[in-house]
Structures are given as C-alpha cells and as structure tokens.
Amino acid sequence: MGEASAAVRWRKPECFQLADDGETPNNPNLPLTLYRGAVSLPANGDGAAVFERLFAANGWTSSWRNGIYGFLHFHTHSHEVLGIVRGRASVQFGGQDGPVVDVAAGDVVILPAGTGHQRKSASHDLLVVGAYPLGGGPRYVEPGEVDHDRAAASIAAVKPPEKNPIYGKDAPAFG
C-alpha cells in the first residue's frame, strides 16, 4: 500500500447533514463527508488502483470502476465511498431538493447508508472508484422501489465503519 498511503493528503472535511425528504431517507445520524483533494493521483499510471489499494487497506472492499449513475438512488444496507480518479462531476446528494456538489479528481466522498445521490452532469472522462465497508455491497434502490419506513429502519441499523476509507483509524469515517 506504500504508493497509495503516500498519495494521501490530510484535508478538513466538508460535512452535509441531509434530512429525510419523505422520498429519500438519507441518514438521520451520519453526515455526507467530502474531502477535497485528499488523494494526489499520478500523472501517468493507474490512479484508480491507488484508490482501490487505499480503500481496501482500510477495510472498504467490493470496489468498482465506473461513473456515477444519472438517476437518484441510495443504499439501504451499506455505506459507500466514491474516489474521483479523473474528470469532474456535479452530483446531487440527499434527494430532489438536496445540494448539488461539484467534485473533481482527487476528491473523496463518503456517503452514509441511505444517502440519495445522482449525477447531474459530468466531463466525458469521469472515472470513479467506489467501495463499501467490509460486509457491504453495491445493492441500491431508487425512491419508490421500497417501503420508505422499512428502508429507514434498515438504514438506521447499519453500523458505522471501523475505519475512514482514506485516513484509517486516524480519523472518523464521517465528519
């Protein structure tokens, strides 16, 4: 993990506490956490592998490489981390009335279970690495696909992860 840990830069997080809007549960206890420029990516080479190794070393696995879906969805059984490898995107968090946040290469977004998210726009070269704390996975739902109260109960039962996906035990996973 040497190259991955050497790429980490300490940043103060931006936190967003997102309320249940009746359609998207969000998380009643944990904030969406954004670290801008937290990972210095190589100019040449596999920047996605840097995120994959870093996340895995901190217990965030089942990683994938792709973009961010353009439809509103959320995870009822797991938290999720998004590492922006290249490009830029505007992402709406929290549901239809939530904030639209611009993210760029090197940024890391940690979404607590229940956090609604969808891409509003992106550069043509956007690449994201996502991962989940041990035991989690990429299952997602869209608003209206599940009973809201049942989803909220499932979200509330998801335990906080043991480690921050980039800073390990040296920082809380959220906020």
On whether the CB atoms of residues 9 and 38 are closer than 8 A, the answer is yes
The answer to whether residue 174 is domain-embedded is no
167 occurs within a structural domain: no
Query: What is the domain-level CATH number for residue 67?
Result: 2.60.120.10
The reply to whether 173 falls in a domain is no
Pick out the chain residues at pLDDT < 50.
Answer: none
> Residue 82 is which amino acid?
L
pLDDT of residue 31: 98
Residue 85 in domain: yes
- Contact between residue 16 and residue 36 where contact means Cβ atoms under 8 Å apart: no
What's the per-residue H, E or C state across 134-148?
A: CCCCCCCECCCCCCH
Q: In the prediction, which pLDDT does 138 show?
A: 74
106 within a domain of the structure (yes/no) = yes
| Contact in structure between 96 and 21 (CB atoms under 8 Å) | yes
So what's the pLDDT on residue 47? 95
The number of distinct structural domains making up the chain is 1
Whole-number pLDDT of residue 112: 98
Strands 108-111 and 80-86: antiparallel
In a domain, 164, yes or no: no
Domain that holds residue 138: 2-156
Q: Is residue 72 part of a domain?
A: yes
**Quick check: is 170 in a domain?**
no
Length of the chain: 175
Q: What is the structure's pLDDT at 175?
A: 86
Dump the DSSP string for 29-84: S--EEEETT-B---SSS-HHHHHHHHHHHTTEEEEEEE---SS-BB-SS--EEEEE
